[in-house]
Structure 1
């Protein structure tokens, strides 16, 4: 082998070793972040469960997450909810987001490792900013509905049936072209057939776009959390599994439809149970 060939082989080997080390470091950091957010979510949910729930007409109970306790202000309640929401979203979405972030790093091309890390952080910031805005809207709607239900017992009695309708609608959404389009956008590799520029603005924009498609794709599944229990760990685990599987399974659209069938069946069971309680 010529000297040039030997040098090229050594350089290729060095880059391969460096790439493997970078990949291990990247996914190691995200694993620690996931562990921390999952732990914080479990602790937060336990604290919320310790506060109990308020029994309501119609045989259901309202989560204290939507209510202002003695001595609290509404900005304080909102800040507490959004803090918990943000931690919960990191734990739920990071499993499906991590490979996408890695592909973004590959699409950016050659740049310094430190700069690449900050660009990746900006993608994550943009992504979770969209989910935070989703949480702001959800809290506002939840707080208003809770206040109205507290004042109107007749409305509170129909909440179980309305919740069943939300679950059925979420299941039906799994079969729509709208869902399929956003799922395709989420599954599409960033920078396919081209290299993304190593720009902070482009990184943030990429994260925002990804967050928008992901929040739309997961809208139905997320809505189920709110009607079943936004701090219910079992519901979180099931929704997280569904989000991740349909994102990475070879035939994501088929998996989404299978999930839709399961959701519709659950909605029908909730309707039957609600009718028996009534």
Structure 2
């Protein structure tokens, strides 16, 4: 009897991973962009304070501050993806330098978050007057924000988008088939949509915590970074989702959880409330 020994299939090879040295350079460059963004954000937060609604900002100025926040919070974790695309997968330059192509990728990525910033501004513009008229309403707005964030963290959409953000190389290889026209811009926007699907729940908790709350932004940025790059990131997303659900239950009864939805009382009102 003829015996045929089948060879075991070779393990899949990673798609043109960057050397560690180049990844280190990529992270360093993005961190150098993120640090000034954090400094600007902290300075604006200190000057503006925290109050419900749009903080008196017109939409264009709000979007400028929002984009600075996104650079601060998101760029450290998106650096390996952008550099891997430009250096290892999307090799055809179309006459652009690598720096120009990375700028296009980042532009497409930020374009997606700009659109989400418009939506956030609309929510703030709608909720601000409600909270000013009746502070009790702010407790329920905060509870709803935490509830939505918790549900999103535990949802299948979160898992799908987070899986892409944690291991984007397969999708990046598909992007190589895109037509050359503005390809890097479109790749950045497409990756930004996955990132938005992964992180929008984390962003909306800034409504109860305060859009200019630097401590809250730093904590959320750490969660985003660890979810995408830490080995236990998937478990972390579940733990954060459960924590948000707990906060949703506590928010109607604990005002300290809602600094972004508290109105400042004048001294006469404050004394009357204390009496």
TM-score category, normalised to shorter length: 0.7 to 0.9
SS where residue 254 of structure 2 aligns?
Answer: helix
Higher RCO (CA < 8 A, seq sep 6+) = 2
Structure 2 spans left out of the alignment, 5+ residues: 1-18, 257-275
SS where residue 120 of structure 1 aligns?
Answer: helix
Scaled by the length of structure 2, the TM-score of the pair is 0.75
- Residues 1:187 and 2:166 are matched in the alignment: yes
For 1:123-154, what per-residue CA distance to the aligned partner results, in whole angstroms no more than 9, with x for missing partners?
Answer: 1100001111111121122113223444x43x
- The aligned residue for residue 38 of structure 2 is 38
Alignment CA distance shift 1:91-1:200 (3 Å): farther
8 Å CA contact retained: 2:109, 2:192: yes
**Bigger CA drift: 81-90 or 185-194?**
185-194
- The aligned residue for residue 129 of structure 1 is 111
Separation (CA, whole Å) in 1 of partners of 2:104 and 2:46 = 31
State the Cα RMSD in Å: 2.8
- The aligned residue for residue 180 of structure 2 is 199
- Number of equivalent positions: 235
Separation (CA, whole Å) in 1 of partners of 2:175 and 2:197 = 26
Q: CA deviation at 1:46?
A: 0.9
Separation (CA, whole Å) in 2 of partners of 1:274 and 1:24 = 43
For 1:44-93, what per-residue CA distance to the aligned partner results, in whole angstroms no more than 9, with x for missing partners?
Answer: 111112xxx5xxxxxxxx33x6244xxxxxxx622221111110110000
Alignment CA distance shift 1:148-1:160 (3 Å): closer
Alignment CA distance shift 1:98-1:113 (3 Å): farther
8 Å CA contact retained: 1:126, 1:207: yes
Q: CA deviation at 1:230?
A: 0.5
SS where residue 182 of structure 2 aligns?
Answer: helix
- The aligned residue for residue 138 of structure 1 is 120
Structure 1 spans left out of the alignment, 5+ residues: 1-18, 54-61, 69-75
Scaled by the length of structure 1, the TM-score of the pair is 0.74
SS where residue 212 of structure 2 aligns?
Answer: coil
SS where residue 231 of structure 1 aligns?
Answer: coil
**Bigger CA drift: 184-193 or 163-172?**
184-193
8 Å CA contact retained: 1:168, 1:263: yes
SS where residue 218 of structure 1 aligns?
Answer: helix
8 Å CA contact retained: 1:246, 1:253: yes
Alignment CA distance shift 1:256-1:20 (3 Å): closer
* Greater fraction helix: 1
Separation (CA, whole Å) in 1 of partners of 2:110 and 2:180 = 19
